[in-house]
């Protein structure tokens, strides 16, 4: 017999994981907007953020004996800065040269290679095993009409929305944000305004990895963390960016939630072995029938 | 103010400019005329760093700017209202103007009073004032041209490069553009104007250069060029 409550339960937990996909996909959009390039190591940026967050948080906790929720909050600025530095490094090592020489494919290989290097690095520092990330919020689920919601899941949704809103505010309100938007719209004309567009591209990589690192510390308390955390998430988020459209902010949220929910439903009703299939089928369908994405405006560049 | 010597530039292996020299004095309106493909736009693009010169030198107020990137050249006070207007379609009219003052707002050029300059632009181009919060992409061609000029002026430039401001506009709007240029000239804005409407350009300019196949074919005070039989025959036509 069909259990309606289970369905709702799956949808609710799908939403929170979908928001993570959305945030990481949002990160893909940030670099695509300014430079028409993507960081294929975005998943590894998420993984590194989560592991760096783990280390920072346990250090803060052990040295000062600070309670977990406070240690979590104190850890956030460090992880965000770490993410920015990591993203800037990726741009500097892997993307800048490709852009300068107008290489069509150089950045693809370079960002994939850097992702693999980061993964190996993480395996050597933190080991190959997965481990638990300390949960800053109560493990006890909140019950709403029989639906169980983890406090951390609520935080994921709120945090993801807050982060995207913050970047949006930066772009709309600050002069540097406007420079980013101008660079995305017309890089040559932005240069004529006196904007150092190479720096803007670096900034977009920094912000992109910042969002991934933030997603890493949001998701880790409800999953496990470890050097292998990134690959699957990065790929899923990439699918979301394509499904939602590389140019649409709403698209990644809708696309992320859509994929998060189909994942969960397939995992429960069919088999966890097929969990990844519907999302990827959706990806193929979108690529065939609406390559600019469900919400995208312009066609994406051949990759 | 702006001194160009023996400038050679082009795209890849194609050399468009074969070594041109020109001079724009402070407060002067100098026009560069010539037929399509003569290298007018390429000249401006080389001056503002959108392409790198292969050879020659460009100086602004004594400072050598040859080979600098466009953002560095902008910081030296060269404003370029480019071919095709290139306004930022996803930004509002006001934000486009604010972007024009980017260097002033971020400390790489003297700040002055950005707010007052915004108000001045809305005075100069009342149509833009009406559309202040509209996205630039929704403006008509004429309005976009006004916006591109106003945005360039927001730099408080040492020299303003104008690339075919009349292109694609209805005759009435062309007139409006030229009357705006006259007003800027009266306000002592130093300008280098590239134009297809040679007669109208020579009418407002102090000095003119005629560009032919990437070389300066003639130059002189606008008054004299206007009456030069060769220039008349080639660029002004009988109808003008």
Residue A188 has its nearest CB partner, among B50, B87, B152, at B50
Query: Are both B172 and B150 inside the same structural domain?
Result: no
Contacts of B82 in chain A (CB under 8 A): 188-189, 192
To the nearest whole Å, the CA of B65 is away from the closest chain A CA by: 14
Q: What is the mean pLDDT of residues A40-57?
A: 95
Q: Is the pLDDT of residue B66 over 60?
A: yes
My answer on whether B224 and B131 are in the same domain is no
Give the pLDDT mean for A153-167.
95
Look at chain B and count its residues. Answer: 240
Which chain A residues contact residue B74 at CB under 8 A? 191-194
Residues B164 and B236 reside in one and the same domain: yes
The shortest C-alpha distance from A130 to chain B (Å) reads 44
Specify whether B60 is located in the same domain as B163. yes
Residue of B nearest to A182 (CA): B88
ipTM: 0.94
- Report how far residue B164's alpha carbon sits from residue A129's, in angstroms, rounded to the nearest whole number: 64
Per-residue pLDDT, A298: 53
Last residue of a domain, one of B156, B188, B203: B156
Q: Indicate whether B7 pLDDT > 70.
A: yes
Query: What pLDDT score does A297 carry?
Result: 67
What is the extent of the structural domain holding B239? Answer: 1-77+159-240
CB of B114 within 8 Å of a chain A CB? The answer is: no
**Pair B211, B150 in one domain:** no
CB contact under 8 A, B105 and A189: no
Q: What is the mean pLDDT of residues B131-144?
A: 95
pLDDT value at A269 more than 60: yes
Q: What is the pLDDT of residue B240?
A: 43
Classify B110 in phi/psi space as left (phi over 0), alpha (psi -120 to 50) or beta. Answer: beta
Nearest by CB: A192 against B80, B89, B106: B80
Q: How far is CA A37 from the centre of its chain?
A: 16
Rounded mean pLDDT, B74-102 = 97
CA-to-CA separations, A86 to A14, A52, A98, A286, B148, in angstroms, rounded: 29, 11, 18, 31, 38
Q: Which of A141, A156, A164, A154 has the alpha carbon at shortest distance from A217?
A: A156
| Residue in A178, A186, A194 nearest the CB of B71 | A194
Q: Which of A46-55, A221-230, A246-255, B121-130 has the lowest mean pLDDT?
A: A246-255
Higher pLDDT among residues B156 and A139, named by residue: B156
User: Both B165 and B235 in a single domain?
Assistant: yes
Left if phi > 0, otherwise alpha if psi is -120 to 50, otherwise beta: which for A253?
A: alpha
Q: Cα Rg for chain A, rounded, in angstroms?
A: 19
Query: Is residue B237 very low, low, confident or very high in pLDDT (cuts 50, 70, 90)?
Result: low
Give yes or no for B51 touching A (CB within 8 A). no
Q: Hey, are the CB atoms on B74 and A197 less than 8 Å from each other? A: no
In 10 A of CB A275, how many CB atoms? 17
Taking an 8 Å cut-off on Cβ atoms, the answer to whether A194 and B102 are in contact is yes
The dihedral sign for the CA sequence A76, A82, A87, A88: positive
Total domain count for chain B?
Answer: 2
The 3-state DSSP class for residue B52 equals coil
The confidence band for A301, taking pLDDT boundaries of 50, 70 and 90, is very low
Residue B159 pLDDT grade (very low, low, confident, very high; cuts 50, 70, 90): very high
Could you tell me if B84 lies within 8 Å of chain A, comparing CB atoms?
A: no
- Split at pLDDT 50, 70, 90, the class of A294 is confident
Predicted local distance difference test score (pLDDT) of residue A303: 39
So what's the pLDDT on residue B238? 47
Cβ neighbours for A257, distance < 8 A, ≥ 6 positions apart: A14, A15, A18, A19, A22
Q: Are residues B41 and B90 in the same domain?
A: no
**Residue B43 and residue B2 share a domain:** yes
Q: What is the pLDDT of residues B163-212, one digit of tens each?
A: 999 998 999 999 999 999 999 999 999 999 999 889 999 999 999 999 99
Final residue in a domain of this structure, among B156, B188, B217: B156
Closest CA–CA distance from residue A13 to any residue of chain B (Å): 36
Q: Are residues B164 and B240 located together in one domain of the fold?
A: yes
Q: Are residues B143 and B237 in the same domain?
A: no
Residue A236 has pLDDT above 60, yes or no: yes
A228-244: b (≥16 Cβ within 10 Å) or e: bbbbebbbbbbbbbbbb
Lookup: tokens for B235 = 């660029």
Find the radius of gyration of the CA atoms of chain B.
17
B180 and B225 both lie in a single domain: yes
What percent of chain B lies above the pLDDT cut of 90?
Answer: 89
Which chain A residues have a beta carbon less than 8 Å from that of B98? 175, 178
Q: Are residues B171 and B53 in the same domain?
A: yes
Q: Where are the beta strands (DSSP E) in B112-240?
A: 159-163, 191-195, 207-212, 215-221
Rounded CA separation B201/B32 (Å): 9
Choosing from B103, B128, B156, the residue where a domain stops is B156
CB atoms within 10 A of CB A5: 11
Examine the pLDDT at A169 and tell me if it is beyond 70: yes
Q: Helix (H, G, I), strand (E, B), or coil: what is residue B81?
A: strand
Long-range CB pairs of A223-226, under 8 A, 24+ apart, other chains included: A223/A133, A224/A130, A224/A131, A224/A132, A224/A133, A225/A47, A225/A50, A225/A51, A225/A54, A225/A130, A225/A131, A225/A132, A225/A133, A226/A47, A226/A51, A226/A126, A226/A127, A226/A128, A226/A129, A226/A130, A226/A131
Q: Is the pLDDT of residue B55 over 70?
A: yes
Q: What is the pLDDT of residue A300?
A: 42
CATH number for the domain that contains residue B183: 3.40.50.300
Domain residue extents for chain A: 19-240
Q: Which residues of B74-86 are buried (b: 16+ CB within 10 A; e: fewer)?
A: bbbbbbbbbbebb
Task: Provide the shortest C-alpha distance from residue A287 to chain B (in Å).
Answer: 26
- Is the pLDDT assigned to residue B25 strictly greater than 80? yes
Q: At what angle do helices A229-244 and A197-219 cross, to 10 degrees?
A: 120
Tokens of A282: 């959706």
What residue spans of chain A are helical by DSSP H? Answer: 4-35, 42-64, 68-90, 96-100, 106-126, 151-173, 175-185, 187-192, 197-219, 229-244, 249-269, 277-289
């Amino acid at each position: 017999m069909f259990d309606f409550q289970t369905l709702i339960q799956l949808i609710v937990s799908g939403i929170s994981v979908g928001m993570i996909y959305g945030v990481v996909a949002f990160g893909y959009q940030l670099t695509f907007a300014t430079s028409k390039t993507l960081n294929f190591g975005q998943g590894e940026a998420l993984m590194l953020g989560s592991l760096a967050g783990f280390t920072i948080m346990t250090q803060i906790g052990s040295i000062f004996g600070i309670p977990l929720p406070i240690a979590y909050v104190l850890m956030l600025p460090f992880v965000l800065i770490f993410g920015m530095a990591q993203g800037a490094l990726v741009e500097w090592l892997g993307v800048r040269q490709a852009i300068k020489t107008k290489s069509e494919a150089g950045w693809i290989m370079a960002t994939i290679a850097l992702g693999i290097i980061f993964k190996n690095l993480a395996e050597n520092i933190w080991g190959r095993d997965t481990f638990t990330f300390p949960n800053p919020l109560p493990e006890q689920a909140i019950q709403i009409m029989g639906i169980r919601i983890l406090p951390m899941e609520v935080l994921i949704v709120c945090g993801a929305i807050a982060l995207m809103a913050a970047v949006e505010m930066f772009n709309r309100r600050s002069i540097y944000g406007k420079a980013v938007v101008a660079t995305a719209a017309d890089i040559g004309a932005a240069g004529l305004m006196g904007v150092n567009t190479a720096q803007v591209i670096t900034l977009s990589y920094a912000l992109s990895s910042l969002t991934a690192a933030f997603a890493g510390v949001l998701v880790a308390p409800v999953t496990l963390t470890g050097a292998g955390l990134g690959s699957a998430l990065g790929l899923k988020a990439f699918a979301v960016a394509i499904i939602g459209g590389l140019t649409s902010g709403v698209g990644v949220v809708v696309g992320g939630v859509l994929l998060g929910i189909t994942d969960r439903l397939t995992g429960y009703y069919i088999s966890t072995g097929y969990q990844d299939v519907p999302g990827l089928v959706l990806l193929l369908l979108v690529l065939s029938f609406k390559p600019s994405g469900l919400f995208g405006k312009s066609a994406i560049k051949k990759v | 103010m702006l001194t160009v010597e023996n400038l050679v530039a082009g795209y890849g292996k194609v050399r468009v400019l074969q070594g041109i020299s020109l001079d724009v004095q402070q407060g002067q309106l100098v026009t560069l005329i010539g037929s399509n493909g003569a290298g007018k736009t390429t000249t401006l693009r080389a001056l503002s760093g959108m392409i790198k010169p292969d050879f020659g030198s460009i100086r602004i107020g004594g400072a050598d700017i040859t080979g600098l990137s466009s953002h560095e050249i902008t910081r030296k006070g060269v404003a370029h209202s480019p071919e095709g207007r290139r306004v930022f379609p996803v930004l509002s009219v006001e934000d486009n103007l604010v972007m024009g003052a980017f260097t002033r707002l971020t400390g790489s050029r003297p700040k002055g009073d950005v707010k007052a300059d915004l108000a001045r632009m809305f005075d100069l181009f009342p149509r833009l004032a009406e559309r202040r919060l509209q996205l630039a992409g929704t403006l008509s061609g004429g309005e976009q041209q006004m916006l591109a000029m106003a945005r360039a002026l927001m730099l408080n430039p040492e020299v303003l490069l104008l690339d075919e401001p009349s292109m694609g506009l209805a005759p009435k709007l062309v007139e409006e553009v030229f009357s705006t240029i006259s007003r800027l000239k009266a306000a002592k804005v130093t300008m280098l104007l590239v134009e297809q409407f040679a007669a109208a350009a020579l009418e407002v300019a102090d000095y003119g250069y005629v560009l032919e196949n990437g070389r300066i074919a003639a130059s002189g005070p606008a008054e004299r060029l206007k009456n030069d039989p060769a220039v008349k025959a080639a660029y002004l036509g009988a109808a003008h």
